Structure 1
Amino acid sequence: MDLSLSVRPGRGCTVLEVRGELDMATSPQLRQGLQRLVDAGDRQVVVDLAGVGFMDSSALGMLVVMFKAFREAGGRLSLASAQPAVQTVLTVTSVDRVIRVYESAEAAEADGADEPAGR
């Protein structure tokens, strides 16, 4: 399955909407998309996972790497709208203890708009 990425401005952040499956074949595409945002100066990014039904360990590792890249740049990467199967993977691996996961992109936007960069 192909991966689709679209970027939109959010409230106090940038939202990256992801659609498709996140696996070894598609994770590099998401990483490139996130790296472009870091390079462009975006510091508060929400990855909206509403359109993602599957995520494997390669995608988890890439998200942690990019979380650290945003943190080192003085920003924050968070996740939103994880489907049940994806939320289970995030919980079982404890990635949700490292990267904040919100119920919705709107909730992440509201929280990000109220927080200083670098949290």
Structure 2
Amino acid sequence: MDLQLSVRPGRGCTVLEVHGELDMATSPQLREGLQRVADAGDRRVVVDLAGVGFMDSSGLGALVVMFKALREAGGRLCLAAVQPAVHSVLMVTSVDQVIDVYGSVQAAEADMSSRDATAS
């Protein structure tokens, strides 16, 4: 299955919408998409995983690598609208303890905005 990525401006951040399965075949596309967002100067990124029903360790790796890259650049990456099967992968690997996970994109955007307000 092909991976589909779309980028849109969010409230105080950039939202990367992901549709498809995140596996060894598609995780390079995710990493490249996130890298393009970072290269464009976006430092606060919400990854909308509502359209992802499956993620293996390579997808997880792509998210962690870009989380670290954005953090080192003074930015932030978080996950939103995570499906149950993907959420269990995040929990088993404890990645949900490192990368913030939100129930909806709106909740992630609100937190990004509130953190911006408190940082000012």
Structure (1/2) with the larger strand percentage: 1
Fold shared by both chains (TM-score > 0.5): yes
Unaligned runs of 5+ in 1: none
AA paired with 1:35? Q
Structure (1/2) with the larger helix percentage: 2
Runs of 4+ in 1 over 3 A off after TM superposition: none
Q: Which residue of 1 aligns with 2:99?
A: 99
Number of residue-to-residue matches in the alignment: 118
Partner Cα distance (1:58, 1:18) in 2:
15
How far apart are 1:33 and its partner, in Å? 0.4
Q: Which residue of 2 aligns with 1:114?
A: 114
Partner Cα distance (1:28, 1:48) in 2:
17
TM-score by length of 1: 0.96
2:71 is the counterpart of 1:71: yes
TM-score by length of 2: 0.95
Q: Residue by residue, what CA displacement relative to the aligned partner does 1:30-72 show, whole Å, maximum 9, x if unpaired?
A: 0000001111100100000000000000111111110000001
Partner Cα distance (2:23, 2:29) in 1:
10
Same amino acid, percent of matched pairs? 78
